[in-house]
Amino acid sequence: MANVVDQLIALSNTLAGIIAQLQTPPAPPRAARRVITPADMTYLGIMKTPLDARSQGAIALRRRPDGTKSLLVSGPSTTGNPLAEITLETFNTDPAKQATARLLNSWQPEQWQQNCKSWGSIPLPSGGLEIGGMVMLGDTFYSTFHGHYDVSPGNKPVLFASKFNADGTITSFGPWLIDAGNHQTCLWLTTNNGKLYAGAGLTAGDAASPWGRSLYEVQIPDAATPAFSTLTSRVLLTYPIGHEDEFPGTYTSATVTTPKTGGPWINNGNVTTAIWIDTPTLEGVLYFGRIGEGFVWYGLNPDPASGNKDTVDLAKGYHATQHKGYLAIDDPAKYDDVVAGKMQPYTLHADRPDQVLGME
């Protein structure tokens, strides 16, 4: 189940990234476009990779100097996981026709991360920084990192930038802190009209753990920006304590072993990636992830009391016996109202179908 869910989420990331790369700037007036819906998307299938599971933690689309496109893939942590570049092959729903990508390049951590295993005050119980999001903006490759589990206050060095040189090497800059704090901005990156956006999010929360989706426009650093300096950001979407994000429906079939005062919501869902789509006819910010169902509990896995197992989230924390694919779609016009002070960011609620792209 874990492999299927991860493959589908990775596919959603790839598909959305391809659509974004094909957009035609400048964007037409907003009145000429409508907000994208699940009906506008088609499931293309699967493309296999030549990499093992330990090397597949984040993904980004690159337009190479010769005009062809490739995928940049990196493992879930900086410990021994290289950055790999693979070909972009045709997706197919028929297992017998699913192509396997070819490996084009590979860079070890010391070749693209300055061999950093610890930056500043990020706690590293897993032995290395965990890789969040990756995205290309022009000719610069941006990536985010975070500690295995870090909810301590303060800004953390989470953003990194790299340039691909003609000789195949990589020159890197940073890292930099983001003034929105570590746990709010470390999980993924997206771009739109030359701007850089970052965010993170858990899809459901209770009074004890209310974090929802988030989106921040982040100052774009360059080679002259001092390492470990703090980048400014502008809030477009966030859900503070007392203004929790909501997911439609209820966990009526769930058995919650440690109920919280905030109600039936248990914070075991998450947004794993987001993409800003902006085409001549469609627009929208799509948040992909998963949410737990069935028997839900907090603690060890398997659950010592019931014996139930979570095949997706293995460490101690919130768990569920089943997980369903998740999609939230925001109308970007609402972000304009937030920036203009007409709306609070926590008042935005997206359309969230229970099923999308076959992600069951």
Q: Would you kindly state where each structural domain of the chain is located, as residue ranges?
A: 2-347
Give 257's DSSP letter.
S
Which residue shows structure tokens 């095949």? 311
Which pLDDT band, with edges at 50, 70 and 90, does 196 fall under? very high
Which tokens go with 54?
């330990």
pLDDT band of residue 93 (cuts 50, 70, 90) is: very high
What percent helix, strand, coil does the chain show, rounded to 5? 15, 35, 50
Whole-number Å distance between alpha carbons of 62 and 137:
9
Write the pLDDT tens digit of every residue in 211-249: 577 899 999 998 899 988 899 999 998 877 667 666 544
pLDDT per residue as tens digits for the range 29-39 = 666 789 998 88
Per-residue pLDDT, 121: 53
| Highest mean predicted confidence (pLDDT) among 75-79, 163-167, 311-315 | 163-167
Q: Where are the alpha helices (DSSP H) in the chain?
A: 2-21, 109-112, 182-185, 332-339
Q: How far apart are CA 165 and CA 330, in angstroms?
A: 37
Proportion of the chain above pLDDT 90, given as a percent: 25
Query: Which DSSP letter does residue 269 get?
Result: -
- Residues 221 and 233: their CA atoms lie apart, in Å, by 12
Asked whether the predicted pLDDT for residue 156 surpasses 90, the reply is no
Mapping DSSP onto H, E and C, the string for 275-341 reads EEEECCCEEEEEEEEEEEEEEEEEECCCCCCCCCCCCCCCCCEEEEEEEEEEEEEECHHHHHHHHCC
pLDDT in tens, 40-50: 988 899 999 88
**Residue tagged 């980048």 (tokens):** 231
Cα–Cα dist 81/106, whole Å? 10
What average pLDDT does the segment 289-311 reach? 80
- Which range in 4-8, 102-106, 207-211, 267-271 is most confidently predicted, on average pLDDT? 102-106
pLDDT at 71 over 80: yes
Taking the mean position of all CA atoms in its chain, how far away is CA 138?
Answer: 20
pLDDT at 275 over 60: yes
The answer on pLDDT for 70 being more than 90 is yes
Residue 94 has pLDDT above 90, yes or no: yes
Q: What is the predicted pLDDT for the residue at 262?
A: 36
**Mean pLDDT score, 289-299:** 74
For residue 203, what pLDDT is reported?
54
Mean pLDDT of the chain: 75
- The residues that bridge with 7 in the sheet, in sequence order, are none
In this model, does residue 169 exceed pLDDT 50? yes
Q: Once rounded to an integer, what is the mean pLDDT over residues 62-86?
A: 85
Query: Would you state the pLDDT for residue 258?
Result: 47
As a whole number of angstroms, the distance between CA 247 and CA 324 comes to: 13
Exposed e or buried b per residue across 209-240, where buried means at least 16 C-beta atoms within 10 angstroms of its C-beta: bbbbbbbbbbbbbeeeeeeeeebebbbbbbbe
At 18, the pLDDT band (50, 70, 90 cuts) reads very low
CA 231 to chain centre: 20
- CA distances 187 to 174, 258, 271, 289, Å, are 17, 27, 9, 12
Mean pLDDT computed over 114-141: 68
pTM more than 0.85: no
Q: Do 324 and 213 form a contact (C-beta atoms < 8 A)?
A: no
